[in-house]
Structure 1
Amino acid sequence: MNESPRPQPAERPRNAAATRLRLLEAAADLFAERGYERTTVRAIAERAGANQALLFRYFGSKHGLLTEVVAKGSLEQLRATAPEELFETALRSILTRSAPGADRSLEVYLRSVGRGDEAGGTLRELGGEYQKVLAGLAPSGDGALRADLAMAWLLGIGLMRTVAAREPLAGADPDAVCRLVLGTLASFWTAPESTRPERPEEGGR
C-alpha cells in the first residue's frame, strides 16, 4: 500500500505592504542620516529586516526607492498643504525631525542634494515643485525669486540644524525658531517689488 504524501507546511503569507513600508521608512532614515550616495541597499534591507531582493522587486533600484521616499514625504505634504501654510509646515518638519513619525524627506534632500549622483534629478524636481507653490504667494512679478530666497533660508536652517548641528540653532525650541522666522517672512511676501533705478542719460547730471 502506497503511503499518502505528507502534507506540506503552509507557506507563511508575506505582508507585502508592511515590508514595503518598512523599506521606505528604513531608507528615509538612512538617507537622512548618511545621504543617498553613502547609503547602501544592504544597509536599508538590514534595517528593514527584509531581503535585498524585495527592495528591487518593489522599487526597481535604490534611485527608485529614493524617488518614493521623497514622494511619500515632501511631495505628498506639498499637495496636501495650503500654499500659505507650506513654508511653516516644511520648517516644522525639519525642526521636529526626532519626533516619532516625523517626516524626514527634507533631511533626505539636505543630505543628498548636490552630490553629483543620480539622486540629483529627483531632488531638483522637489525644489521646483516647492518653488512653484511658494512663488504664488508673492503678488508681484518676482515671485520665483522670492520663492528661491525663502527655500534658501529654509534649507540653510536645515543644514545648520541637522547637518552641521551648530548651536544654538541645533538645540533651539521649534516654536521659538518658527516665531522668529515666520514673523520676518510675513513681510517678505508682501514687500513691493524692487525696481531698478533709471540710469541718467549720458552727459546728463
Structure 2
Amino acid sequence: MPPTNNGPAPRRRDAAASRERLLKAAGELFGERGYDRTTARDIGERAGVDPSMIARYFGGKALLFLAVLNAESDADSFADLYDADRLAGLFDRIDRQGPGPVTQVAVRPYDDPAAQAAAATELDRRIVAPLRDRFASEGDERAALRAELLTAAFVGVALARRTGTLEHLAAADPDDLLPLVRRLLA
C-alpha cells in the first residue's frame, strides 16, 4: 500500500506571477521610500513572496530597481516638457503616486552606484534629453544647461506640491497650475 500524504498539497509555484508581484511591490516601495530606504524584506513582504526570490529572478535589489525603471518606461522616446499633455501627465502621476525613482534621483542621490547610474540615465532619457534636443535644434548654445535647469525647476515644483509644505502650490487646481508652469518653463 502506497504511503498517504495527510498534509496539505504542496503549493504550486508560479514563477511569472511571483516575479510580477515582486516587480509591482518594488515599484511601489521605491516610489514611496526611495531605493535606499527600501529593503528586500519589505519588497518580499508586500509581494507575498520570499525575499530571496529577488536574487533568483532579478539578480539582486539593484537589478530589480533597473527592472522597475524599464517597466515604467512606456515609450522609447518621450515628448519634452513643453508638450502640454506630457507635462500634465507627469504632474498627474506624481500627484497620484508620488515621486518615482527617476524623479527622486534629481534631488537625492542613491547610495548604490548602480542604482544611481540607472536612475540618472533614465532621468536624462525621459526628461532632460527631450528638452536638450529641442533647445539644440533651436540653436541654443547652452542647450544642456538649460535642459537641466528646467528639469530641476519641474522636479522642484512637483515635489514641493506633493509635500504640501507650500500650501497654495499644494492646493492649486492642476488646470490653474499647468499654465503657470508652462510660463515658468518658457
TM-score, normalization: structure 2? 0.77
Q: Give the partner amino acid of 1:120.
A: Q
Instruction: Give the number of equivalent residue pairs.
Output: 178
Change (3 A) 1:107 1:175: farther
Change (3 A) 1:90 1:47: farther
Identity %: 33
Change (3 A) 1:166 1:71: farther
Q: What is the root-mean-square deviation in Å for CA atoms of aligned residues?
A: 3.0
Q: What residue ranges of structure 1 are gaps of 5+ in the alignment?
A: 189-205
Tell me by how many angstroms 1:78 deviates: 5.1
Q: Secondary structure at the residue paired with 1:115?
A: coil
> In structure 1, how many angstroms separate the alpha carbons of the residues matched to 2:46 and 2:14?
17
What's the counterpart of residue 63 of structure 1? Answer: 62
Q: Secondary structure at the residue paired with 2:134?
A: coil
1:26-175 maps to which residues of 2 (within 5 A)? 26-73=25-72, 76-77=73-74, 79-83=76-80, 88-89=85-86, 92-97=89-94, 99=96, 106-112=99-105, 114-118=108-112, 119-129=115-125, 130-138=127-135, 139-140=138-139, 141-163=141-163, 165-175=165-175
Moved more, 28-37 or 160-169: 160-169
Q: Give the partner amino acid of 1:137.
A: R
Change (3 A) 1:165 1:64: farther
> In structure 2, how many angstroms separate the alpha carbons of the residues matched to 1:22 and 1:171?
34
Alpha carbons 1:36, 1:112 under 8 Å: kept:
no
Tell me by how many angstroms 1:31 deviates: 1.4
Deviations 1:162-199 (A, max 9, x none): 346532222322232222212443xx3xxxxxxxxxxx
Q: Give the partner amino acid of 2:50.
A: N
> In structure 2, how many angstroms separate the alpha carbons of the residues matched to 1:44 and 1:116?
18
Tell me by how many angstroms 1:64 deviates: 0.9
Deviations 1:47-98 (A, max 9, x none): 111111221111111111111212221xx24525344766852553343346
> In structure 2, how many angstroms separate the alpha carbons of the residues matched to 1:44 and 1:150?
33
Q: Give the partner amino acid of 1:125.
A: T
Q: What residue ranges of structure 2 are gaps of 5+ in the alignment?
A: none
TM-score, normalization: structure 1? 0.71
Tell me by how many angstroms 1:160 deviates: 0.8
Q: Give the partner amino acid of 2:93.
A: T
Tell me by how many angstroms 1:20 deviates: 1.9
Deviations 1:13-51 (A, max 9, x none): 433333222212211221122121111110111111111
> In structure 2, how many angstroms separate the alpha carbons of the residues matched to 1:27 and 1:137?
33
Alpha carbons 1:59, 1:65 under 8 Å: kept:
yes
